[in-house]
Amino acid sequence: MAQKGDEFLFIDRIKNLFADIDNKECKGIGDDCATIPISPDSSLVVTSDMLNEGVHFIRSAIPAFDLGYKSLAVNLSDIAAMGAEPIASFLSIGFSKEIPALWRDEFMAGYHSLSKEFGVALLGGDTTSTTGGISINVTAIGRAKSSHIKLRSAANIGQDIYVSGTLGDSGVGLQMILNGRWHQREMIDAHHRPRPYVNEGVWLGEREEVGAMIDISDGVASDLRHILRLSGVGAIIDNIPTSQIMDRACKEYNLNREHLALSAGEDYRLLFTVDREQSEQLADSYKKQFGYAPYKIGHITAGNELLLVDTPLDYFGYIHD
Ligand code: ADP
Ligand code: MG
């Protein structure tokens, strides 16, 4: 696709085309994962993501191990964003002929290390060749009590908006990679090895005071807008949490901190809304549980606008379809 906008129009057309087929209680197309009820009170959630060489990654810039890790991480992040626990994945991969066996093994070692960390079985996939470049498709499956599943459409006016970590580290990391500043390890690692918030996602799923949830793949400027559109609400962002190391890099290289934090994407933090009366208490118990606090970035309002303090936000997230 040429642009993210085109991609969304295409997905809408796909959804309309398939509206004539009974979905048999399943829900799909439009959230981080599809949901498939498997018993009166539990569901499977399923997500699928594709990474193409030259579009989503530059092979010479990312170690094979990290790419294997990241290919699964972005899918576990979508499972977490539903409030579900990951159980298994499928991996389909197309290699061009010049990819050495060692590269393939390193890729799988990275994929395995994250699978092992969260006990996610690899249940199948496909291995094939391409006429050029590497193409990776991962499908991940999770499960949750149906009442714990957090949808993008569940934000309510007055709720506070939180993110599970600082914003923009990955985007600055990408800038460092593109400019060959390899000594900026921490931010480059944030870009290459995004940590999926697996345990946090399950924990947040269990909390009734949590409304909508999404993971930040394209940047808050795009991903929060998905919540606003599907929930029929607006939002004000009044705090943009960034790491000290990101702040320093932005000063040193004259980068736009706010713009990168809200639109560069690939942070894979969880963004979630919480009933205002319980939000401080939730942030406290989150901190007790995980050893760090989530960041409040704003709140949900009536209407449909996204404001940065008092000005409409006039840009979107990263276009990397
Ligand atoms: P995310 O960033 O959370 O992975 P995307 O923006 O990639 O979500 O996709 C938005 C929604 O559209 C998801 O529910 C996804 O499953 C669905 N979708 C994307 N491409 C297709 C496709 N080719 N066919 C069916 N559904 C699709
Ligand atoms: Mg997502």
Our answer on whether the CB atom of 78 is closer than 6 Å to any ligand 1 atom is: yes
What pLDDT band is residue 1 in, cutting at 50, 70 and 90? very low
Our answer on whether the CB atom of 49 is closer than 6 Å to any ligand 1 atom is: yes
Give residue 30 CA to ligand 1 midpoint distance, Å: 6
Residue range 255-260: average pLDDT? 95
The tokens for 177 are: 């990679």
pTM of the model: 0.95
Given this model, what pLDDT does residue 115 score? Answer: 98
Contact 114, 73 (CB under 8 A): yes
Our answer on whether the CB atom of 30 is closer than 6 Å to any ligand 1 atom is: yes
Give residue 152 CA to ligand 2 midpoint distance, Å: 10
Q: Please give the share of the chain, as a percent, with pLDDT higher than 70.
A: 98
Q: Please give the share of the chain, as a percent, with pLDDT higher than 90.
A: 93
Residues whose CB is less than 8 angstroms from the CB of residue 278 and which lie 6 or more positions away in sequence, other chains included: 209
Our answer on whether the CB atom of 217 is closer than 6 Å to any ligand 1 atom is: yes
Which residue owns the Cα nearest ligand 1 atom 10?
A: 30
pLDDT in tens, 151-162: 999 999 999 999
Given this model, what pLDDT does residue 8 score? Answer: 84
Identify residues whose C-beta is under 5 A from ligand 2, the ion: 32, 78, 215, 217
Which-ligand-closest: CA of 35? Answer: 1
Give residue 100 CA to ligand 2 midpoint distance, Å: 32
Residues whose CB is less than 8 angstroms from the CB of residue 144 and which lie 6 or more positions away in sequence, other chains included: 42, 43, 45, 82, 83, 84, 85, 202, 205
Contact 41, 143 (CB under 8 A): no
Q: 3-state class of 154 per DSSP? A: coil
Half-sphere exposure (CA, 13 Å, Cβ side) for 142? 32
What pLDDT band is residue 94 in, cutting at 50, 70 and 90? very high
Which residue owns the Cα nearest ligand 1 atom 20?
A: 11
The tokens for 196 are: 């999926």
Atom of ligand 1 nearest to the CA of 78: 3
Given this model, what pLDDT does residue 315 score? Answer: 85
